[in-house]
Every structure is written in C-alpha cells, then in structure tokens.
Amino acid sequence: MNGAESLVRTLVAGKVDVCFTNPGTSEMHFVAALDRVDGMRCVLGLFEGVVTGAADGYARMADKPAATLLHLGPGLGNGLANLHNAQRAATPIINIVGDHATYHRRHDAPLTSDIETVARSVSGWQRTSSDSRTVAADAAAAIAAVTTPPGQIATLILPADTAWNEADGAATVAERSKPVRIGADAVAEAVRALRSGEPALILLAGRALRHNGLDLAGRIAARTGARVMGQTFNARMERGAGRVPAERIPYPIDQALASLKGFRHFILVGAKPPVAFFAYPGKPSLLSPEGAEIHVLARPEEDLVHALEWLADELGARGVDPLLAADAVPQPATGKITPESLGLSIGALIPDNAVIIDEAITTGRGFFAPTRSSRPHDWVQNMGGSIGFAMPLATGAAIACPDRRVITLEGDGSAMYTVQALWTQARESLDVTTVIFANRSYAVLRHELANVGARNVGRKALDMLDIGRPDLDFVALSRGMGVPASRVETMEEFNAQFAAGVRTPGPNLIEVAL
C-alpha cells in the first residue's frame, strides 16, 4: 500500500467518505487509490471554488466532515473564497493539497508555490506530510482537528513522493470529541438578566438554530418575555410551520440598529456580539445599544443545546409552550415580478423538507417573513460575505441530502462566480432547483455607494455596478452545462416553473427577469 492509499483508507475509516476534487499531476496517486478503496464517493468540480463550496454545503447538511482534493498553491488559492465562508461557518473540511515531490521542490518547477501561506488564512490546522509512512497518522490528526467543536478547516499538504512511496496502512481514528459543557456562572448570569424585567434578546447561532435549540429558546422566551433572534447570516437554521421562528438582525445598518434598539441584555448562545457588516461614516460598529449588557451563555465550541436546557430548567421554562410559526401561508402572487411577489410565491411553494441556499442578496431581503410558516425547511446562508457561494453549496447539500429538494436563491452577479456548479449538478443528477434573480446589476453596491457617503458618482462608477451590456443569458449557460432551464417574465410563469421544477427529478434552473 502506498501513502495515498493509506490516506484514503484512513479517511474512510474516519467516516470522511465524500471528496470533492479538482486534481492535477501531483494528486494522481490519490486519484488512483480511489479505485482500490471502497467507500469514498468522489465528485468532480470544474473550478476549485465549486469544490470548496460543495464541501461546505455537504458538511453543513450531513453533519460530518467533507474532504477536498486540490492542486498545489494555485488550486487551493482558487478555492480560498469559499473556504473563507466555510471557516466563518465553522464547517469541518479536510483539504488534501498535492505538492511537488520533496526532492523536486528545490528545483523551482513552474507550479512551485508557498502552499503553507495560502493555507494559513483559512486553516485552523495544517501540516505538510514528510514521509509516506506518516501520511495515515497525519490524516487521522486532521480528522480529529476538524471534528473538534465547533468545527474548523484542516489542510494536509501531500508531497507527491509521500503519496507514491510505501506506507504501513491506515491509521486509527480517535473518537469524535464532544462539545464542552458550560459552567454554572454563565447560567446564573443569564438567569439574572432574564429575571431583571428589562428587555432581553436571546441571540442564537450554530446548533442552537436547529429544532431542539429553537424549541428551548422559544420556551425560555415564552416564560420570560425575552425575544429570540439569529445573527444576520446563519450557517443553517431550521424553520417553517410548527417550529419556533427566529427573526434575523437585518443587514442594512439603519434597520439593524433599529431592530436592536431598546434591548438592555443580549444573551449569546454560540453567537458573537452583533457587529455591523461594514463600517459606515458616522455609524457605530457595534449594533447593541450603548449601555446594553452582553452575557455569554455559551461560546461556539460549547454544548449550546445543553446550555439552553439548563437555562430553561433554572427558569422553570421547560413546561411552557413556545410560540410556534403558524401564520397563514401566503398565496402565490400574480402579475408583475417584484421582490415582494417572489417572496409570497416562494413562501407558498417551498416543498416539504426543502433545503434553501440563500444568496438572493437585495432581491431576497424580504424573503424571511413570507416563508416563516412555509412547509418545514432549512435555510442556509453565507457567513463569510464572499459571494459565489450558493451554487456550490447547493451541490454539496444535495449530495448530503439525496431525499430532499435543494433550492438555490441566487443573485445574477453572485451566480457568475461559480456558475460551473451547474455542470456538477447535471453530472451527479442532483435535485437542485436554481432560481436566478436577473436584475442585471450589483444592486446591493448601488445602495452601499450612498451608505458610505461616496459623492459625485458618475458614469464610470455606475458602470462598475451594472452587469448588463451584454445581458447574461442564464438559460443558454445552464443548458450548455446540461441543466434544463427557462426564463420567466410574469409571476404566473414563475409559479408554474417553480412548482414544476421542485417536483422534477434532477437539476433545473429558472431565470427570473427583474
């Protein structure tokens, strides 16, 4: 057995059994090992941003790590933006990055680069294997690193000779470590704040946004009068009819400040103290009102659900019924296409147990309210702000959840970063419906231009925010990658195409004319 095979065997033994790849010569022994080892599913992406984003989507939805296979520094670098997003979401990903053979590096061949430096900015753990006989143990250490709560990225750099030389076999993978439990002081402080009679907000993140955590937070809120919210962007939130609804802090700075005005206590459950996405002249960076107190009930790496259970017990809230989402589900909208009418139709037509990947940017700002009581679903967002996230994420999510419909809500500008994800969706026959909001503009940046106080904006500046001339034809792009597509110009057409799309096996795409 060579080093590459010992690596694949160790990954499979550690239940890391899906690998998103874009290989090159230095990774050929890993690729060859795939046919000698059962149990590793390999998925090809045609750009590394697709590979790393798909790994993120898979790991978020499968609740276990994904692997990537990337080609030296440039391959890893191409995947960096979506690794950044994954890191912000604490997604467990193991990057296997091939390198030149150890003895070849000193000759400075064309693909020689400083892989360690590229890896460092996104990796909580990284190592360069020095010997084929240590590769398996290095892989086991990488698995232990990424599965340490709350999750992180590990990068294992594999010089080609450590892949092809003889190895001893797979390494033993340690038991997954469990999140640590919070201490009594944190609970006591939260109890004091919630009993103070002053307005309090329970801010949830991570695992606290799944059904159990939301249910407990809802009971605590019903008992104490506190409000429950998620951060502006969340890795994965379970929501819809019959679940405890959590609003989110709005993105636009003025709305964000207004939504938090009046709270005296912020109880953080895996969340960070709320901060503005950007600085704006004359506006605060921190969103909590001056004088408000921040109480950390649980840090991201701690057991968030246990923390909420303990808090609920202390407050006598376990037996209190939470307020559940039970609004009337909207009717599909008709007539002209607007962001509001799209929200209503999506709210009406989300199929049961769907996974929504949200990169709808300005078009989707209002989608949360009309989907509050839609059929139960997961809502997945970009926590790192680097766009080109949703189509790769959807690809990985669909591989993790073959029995669920994945719906990508995507801005046209964001779509163009990683549009090749459609090809992987077609090749793997994934049940993904992509909705492209074709406003032919970087609309959010038009708002930001005013928000940051830029003056005397002229034609050259506006041209940098306009993505028409030529107009992108997403129907042609999609068909060219094997994904059936249509363009809709009325809400009636949207309703018909969306309802059919989420029912039709395999991927499809709808370009929405805005």
Ligand X SMILES: Cc1ncc(C[n+]2csc(CCOP(=O)(O)OP(=O)(O)O)c2C)c(N)n1
Stretch binding ligand X (CB under 6 A), from 205-213, 255-263, 383-391, 454-462:
383-391
Shortest Cβ distance from residue 153 to ligand X (Å)?
A: 18
Shortest Cβ distance from residue 114 to ligand X (Å)?
A: 22
Cβ atoms of 95 and 76 within 8 Å: the answer is yes
Size of the site for ligand X (CB under 6 A): 17
Closer residue to ligand X, CB minimum distance, 26 or 382:
382
Residue 197 class from Cβ within 10 Å (0-12 exposed, 13-18 middle, 19+ buried)? exposed
Stretch binding ligand X (CB under 6 A), from 146-154, 366-374, 401-409, 435-443:
435-443
**Is 362 near ligand X (CB under 6 A)?**
yes
Judged by CB under 6 A, the residue of 92, 179, 413, 501 near ligand X is 413
**Is 87 near ligand X (CB under 6 A)?**
no
Closer residue to ligand X, CB minimum distance, 190 or 444:
444
Closer residue to ligand X, CB minimum distance, 81 or 348:
81
Q: Got the DSSP string for 381-398?
A: E-SS--SS-HHHHHHHHH
Phi and psi, residue 12, nearest 5°:
-65, -40
Shortest Cβ distance from residue 68 to ligand X (Å)?
A: 18
Shortest Cβ distance from residue 441 to ligand X (Å)?
A: 5
**Is 386 near ligand X (CB under 6 A)?**
yes
Shortest Cβ distance from residue 474 to ligand X (Å)?
A: 12
Find where tokens 């499979």 sit.
12
- Give first-to-last CA distance, the chain, whole Å: 57
Tokens coding 44: 């090809």
**Is 434 near ligand X (CB under 6 A)?**
no
Q: Got the DSSP string for 330-361?
A: PPPP-SS--HHHHHHHHHHHPPTTEEEEEE-T
CA distances from 367 to 236, 239, 347, 414 (A): 16, 13, 8, 17
Closer residue to ligand X, CB minimum distance, 256 or 260:
256
Tell me the C-alpha distance between 309 and 322, whole Å. Answer: 14
**Is 387 near ligand X (CB under 6 A)?**
yes
Judged by CB under 6 A, the residue of 95, 441, 497, 508 near ligand X is 441
**Is 361 near ligand X (CB under 6 A)?**
yes
In 10 A of CB 439, how many CB atoms? 19
Tokens coding 217: 């937070």
- Alpha carbon dihedral 223, 229, 234, 237, in 10-degree steps, equals 40
- By beta carbon distance, the residue nearest ligand X is 411
**Is 444 near ligand X (CB under 6 A)?**
yes
**Is 233 near ligand X (CB under 6 A)?**
no
Residue ranges in contact with ligand X by CB under 6 A: 81, 361-363, 385-387, 411-414, 439, 441-445
